Amino acid sequence: MADRDIFAEASYHFSAPAQASSPVNTFSDRSLWKLLRAIVHKPAGAIGVLFVLFHAIVVLTGPWIIPHDPLAQDPRTILAAPSWAHPFGTDLLGRDVLSRTIVGGRIAIAITAIGALLAVVGGAVAGITAAMRGGLLDAIMMRLVEAIGALPYLLFLLLLANFFTGGAYALIPALGIFYGTAVVRVSRAAALSVASSDFVAAARVRGERSSTILFREILPNVLGVIVVDGAIRWAGMLLGFSSLSFLGFGVAPPTPDWGLMISDARNVMAIAPWATLWPCAALASLILGVIFLADGAGKALGR
Amino acid sequence: MVQFRSKIALVVVFALFAASPALSATLRISHNLGYGGRESLDPISPTRFFEANQMIYDQLVRAGPDGQPNPALAIAWSSSPDLAEWTFKLRSGVRFSNGEPFTAQDAAYSLQRILSPKLASPVRSVLGIMDSIEARDDMTLSVKLKQADADFPIVLTDYRVRIVSSKAAGGDLDAVNDSGIGTGPFKVSKLDQRGTTVLAANPDYWDGKPGVAEVDIMAIADQDARNQALLAGQIDITEVTPGEIGLFSSNAKFIVQRVPAGLWNPIVMRTDTSPFNDVRVRKALRMLADRQSLLSLVVGEGNGAVACDAPVWPGDPYYNSSLSCPADPEGAKKLLGEAGYPRGLTVDLYTSAAQPIMVPLAEAYQAQAAKAGVKVNVRVVPVDGYWSTTWMTPNRPFVVGNWAQRPAAQVLNEVFRSGAKWNETAWNCPDFDALLDEARRSGTIDERKALYAKAQAILAEEGGAFIPFFRNEIRVYSSSLDHIDNVPSMMLRWHKITKK
């Protein structure tokens, strides 16, 4: 688990102002299909789509494709090496690692997906509002965002996890708030660059209402940035949530969860590496997939 | 620049070589920071720093490999015919680490302060039967008991009953005595509970000069980190779980020692808190378990023995071997129905990796409980401070505990007598206490055996502790160490250990 959140810095790729004078590419310019084709066209994007698609299929079909009950303990197969019966081996309580890995991402993905949505929507609204209003509100919000950004991310998450007690799902607001602050910064920067452009000025001169300017003029032009940034946040959140599970604050035993599986088996990593290797591989491939996909999407959208 | 660097490298290499002879005489062990850095050098403190105290202070009487009392600072003892007064002849010529001679005054002071209500030591529940303690002369100690106790010397082998200097605290019985001045084989050089505590050998130790010049006690809270520290040669000895033996067994640098022992990990139900204040619920939560399967899952066959909720282990002369506790999930369901939980029960079980098997035990029990309609939410909390903030706190009535092997007379009084400081199940049963009193008064071992057997049967039937098995101790140490007896860690004679 990294000391600092590498994903917090990733936002700088997107915070550079887009071309201010002309409207930038937006989702409305191309159909989703065209966008997907553009993403797949880049090697990184293709890998991302492949990984994410693979995980999506596994998540959706998980309960039907697992070879064993992921909770079934068996004293006869404790830390058994990979075999035909248990292709990924077994863990400390003789449970099948393959089955546990297959269903071990479901809760993390569900929670972080909702958390990411919360972070993106909340962060975008806050960021664009700050950009449009400016003044004291903007200053206060941005100092707050910077203050949170200055805290070591795991420490801050642990603080929030202690506050929002009551199981894994109670962590959704904590994750949303923490990762949302980065979205505020990115969407504010993007909105600022668009807000100063001529077509927004024109809309103001026409006497359009603020909400119209927000939804008609600004949002379509910053949506691409926000969605790509949101995907990066999601990847970061997956790692953050798994770290919390690893530390005992996320999913409670015996529910299979990658972070918890890694934590449970790390003491025996040298003699039974499979019990930590597979959940690590699953988590890493999903995070990489999401990042590659976001990267591909960013490139396809011209950023 | 390059030249400067190579000079530094040379100096470092030279320093390493120069330092190596001293390093080789240092025995390095670890402690798990269970009291979060508040570990105290007062041997009877509730947060005693046992790893250091066992080397700094001596006992009057120490437990031999068979659990029977052996001479230490007391060289001989005898009792009055009614077993209510005990006289100890003390070892002469022993000095404290500050040079003061050890006398019966110090021994009397050390025992008297155990009774101090202000200090509120957990040992008080073990030795509360002491009435008056006096030094008859410099080398004779007399202890009058409130009631007869045939096993009083066995009770004195308690790992915390150690002799401190009475002068160090000005003779004040209510003062915390954490000076570190003892008669033991090592003395404190540097106390740093959160870092490395350094002890230096006492060359004049009465039982012979220690085999190493120094002992370093490092704070390592995490079991995996301890294993890695041992593998990397940063510490010399540690306890491991059965699952971790493989890390060391095929490595010639390490020796794996399996020590038959009665370590136990209860799942504690507070008998004064709902729903565990209902004896049917307690019984059901014990009945549902398949102990043999828990034993094989959590510690492995051959690394322990099935227990029936009584804390006296099979190696103890007072062990009740007639208890049986087969798994009966259907019976458990029925009992829960009678207790008002016809559709099962949901409970939060708190645990931590304070002892590495404590989390797997909770998970394995959780799976068995589910079959009897009991939903156990396993809550894993951090190791640091587990014993001060989770265990024995009123809002955590269902937790996993961890106990070392203790003689019957000690463990039954310390953990199950009503009002005892570490009575983790809040067990309050006058009949049970009366049995313990009667056992102490009994003159013959057969009588005591029968009475302690009854006490164990009561715990198995109604008590608040679910004790699925006794564990052996598995110790791994560097092959550079020698003279490590095959006894539980708490009985190890550290000054005999040598290091190549």
Q: Does residue B482 have a pLDDT over 80?
A: yes
Q: Which fold has domain B262-472?
A: Dipeptide-binding Protein; domain 3 (3.10.105)
- B297/A78 CB distance under 8 A: yes
**What is the reported pLDDT for A198?**
85
Chain A residues in contact with B300 by the CB 8 A cut-off are 78
Range of the domain at A257: 59-74+87-300
CA atoms of B272 and B422, how far apart (whole Å) = 15
Q: Is residue A268 part of a domain?
A: yes
Q: Is residue A10 part of a domain?
A: no
**What is the reported pLDDT for B92?**
95
Q: Is residue A5 part of a domain?
A: no
Any idea what the Cα angle at residue B325 is, between residues B322 and B327, rounded to 5°?
A: 155
Number of domains in chain A: 1
| Token digits of residue A41 | 């066209």
- B366/A254 CB distance under 8 A: yes
Q: Is residue A227 part of a domain?
A: yes
Q: Is residue A229 part of a domain?
A: yes
CA atoms of B152 and B129, how far apart (whole Å) = 9
Q: Is residue A15 part of a domain?
A: no
CATH code assigned at A120: 1.10.3720.10
> For B155-165, what is each residue's pLDDT tens digit?
999 999 999 99
- B296/A75 CB distance under 8 A: yes
Q: Phi and psi at residue B446, in whole multiples of 5°?
A: -65, -40
B371 in contact with chain A, both atoms CB, cutoff 8 A: no
Q: Is residue A94 part of a domain?
A: yes
- B378/A94 CB distance under 8 A: no
Any idea what the Cα angle at residue A203 is, between residues A197 and A206, rounded to 5°?
A: 140
B389 in contact with chain A, both atoms CB, cutoff 8 A: no
Matching CATH number, B25-221+491-500, of 3.30.1240.10, 1.25.40.10, 3.40.190.80, 3.40.190.10: 3.40.190.10
Which has the higher per-residue pLDDT, A34 or B235? B235
Among the partner-chain residues B223, B231, B363, the one whose CB lies closest to the CB of A254 is: B363
ipTM: 0.72
Nearest chain A alpha carbon to B249: A271
Using DSSP's 3-state secondary structure scheme, residue B347 falls into strand
**Average model confidence (pLDDT) across chain B:** 91
Provide the strand spans (E) within B129-251.
130-137, 140-145, 186-190, 196-201, 214-219, 237-239
**Position A129 confidence tier, pLDDT thresholds 50, 70, 90:** confident
Chain A residues in contact with B367 by the CB 8 A cut-off are 71, 73, 254
**Position A1 confidence tier, pLDDT thresholds 50, 70, 90:** very low
**What is the reported pLDDT for A271?**
85
Mutation for B interface: A1, A68, A73, A244, most B CBs within 10 A: A73
Among the partner-chain residues B224, B227, B367, the one whose CB lies closest to the CB of A73 is: B367
**What is the reported pLDDT for B443?**
79
Q: Does residue B339 have a pLDDT over 50?
A: yes
> For A220-278, what is each residue's pLDDT tens digit?
888 888 888 888 899 999 998 998 888 878 788 888 999 999 988 887 888 889 999 99
What is the location of CATH 3.40.190.10 in chain B?
Answer: 25-221+491-500
Type of residue found at B269: M
Nearest chain B alpha carbon to A253: B378
**Position A166 confidence tier, pLDDT thresholds 50, 70, 90:** low
**What is the reported pLDDT for B363?**
94
Cα-Cα-Cα-Cα dihedral sign, residues B78, B79, B80, B86: positive
**What is the reported pLDDT for A20?**
39
